[in-house]
Chain A
């Protein structure tokens, strides 16, 4: 969240993906940096136990949303 917000503030579009167990932390970090509206994509927790194919599948499922945020769509 911290890095995504700062990249965005530096003028580069960013999309941050966070697992849903970290929603309060993500929202708190955005608020701390005055970026309450920073678009964050939340995905189901956890991802650490996913193997590569499952992680890829998860990422592909989020790709459209990531692209939309990056292109301002």
Chain B
């Protein structure tokens, strides 16, 4: 049986910048927006900055026979509009999403339409000017915009997650263009995400999470009110966490997944709360009654006496709630990002960023 190689590199030439951009479209390298021409010199500059061999393997996507190298990642980071100093973040995020427990083939192909959310911690945030405040998920910052876009281009160009072909998202969401935030870890008493996940405070890391779109929580004033509203939103029917067809613990009957929650504003509002206490509250309250799950055909069968009071948790363990302090200082607004699928289908991964 013959097999086709998918490790080849395509090269092209062009006469000027505009024709180079058009060539990028013709070759199918674009996410729909213009790409920066990945000249060999620019790609080499990125690889040189990271000080890593171009053929070093960052990981593989075995189901699609793809091995992702530093050079492949560099070409896509150039096309996304990155600066060379952003590239170590892109490399770490790529390594993270190719970690087997992330199970990239799932969130990059599924009808569920996940995006790879990147959460950056550590000193690299200031070094490259990542935004962790106003317009957290919005436009206006080159580092956030282009690092997140790099991940999408790597998925499309190097991992074959091509819409309509191997990416079968039914709806998807805007985070599939770019989805990268940083934690405002210097502006809160809360333990930074990467320290909670076993890294030193001095490390720089990126955490990848296969997420649905963020849902904003516009409850302010008291921590309890914000968390009450947050739990209500996260308990919605219709998220991936509250759908049937568990591929994990079948005794639960629903998918149960991880979740990212962000908290903006002034951290002083949360002075009596730790991240552990927030997680404890949310884990106990992100749930749905058996009766509601039956009404939504998540669970089968007629509603029985006791089903209204019997509650099912949508999140496996408190540690599966990733708490991030980030967002504008203007208000204590928050957000909820449900996972794409069950925890056994994709688990968040954190990797160290190797800064040169």
Which residues of A are interface residues toward B (Cβ below 8 A)?
2, 9, 22, 24-25, 28-29, 31-35
Contacts and interface: CB of A to CB of B under 8 A. Distances in A.
Contact of B166 (A25, A33, A34, A35): A25
B4 A34 contact: yes
Contact of A32 (B2, B65, B164, B168): B65
B6 A32 contact: yes
11 contacts: A2-B63, A9-B1, A22-B168, A25-B165, A28-B160, A28-B166, A31-B4, A32-B4, A32-B65, A33-B65, A34-B4
Contacts of B3: 33-34
A60 B166 CA distance: 29
A24 B4 contact: no
Interface in B141-160: 160
Number of contact residues on B: which range applies?
10 to 19
A49 B132 CA distance: 42
A25 B4 contact: no
A24 B165 CA distance: 6
For the complex, would chain B's binding face be called helix, strand, loop or mixed by DSSP majority? loop
Nearest to A35: B1
A33 B160 CA distance: 13
A29 B3 CA distance: 12
B168 A34 contact: no
Contacts of A9: 1
A45 to B, nearest CB: 12
Contacts of A24: 164-165
Contacts of A28: 160, 165-166
A25 B168 contact: yes
B222 interface: no
A24 B160 CA distance: 13
B64 A32 contact: yes
B81 to A, nearest CB: 29
Nearest to B62: A2
Nearest to B164: A24
Contacts of A33: 3, 65
| 5 tightest A-B CB contacts, nearest first | A34-B3, A34-B2, A34-B1, A28-B165, A2-B63
Interface in B1-54: 1-4, 6
Contacts of A29: 166
B303 to A, nearest CB: 19
A69 to B, nearest CB: 18
A70 to B, nearest CB: 19
Nearest to A2: B63
Contacts of A31: 4
Contacts of A22: 168
A49 to B, nearest CB: 10
B346 to A, nearest CB: 17
Nearest to B64: A32
A22 B65 CA distance: 20
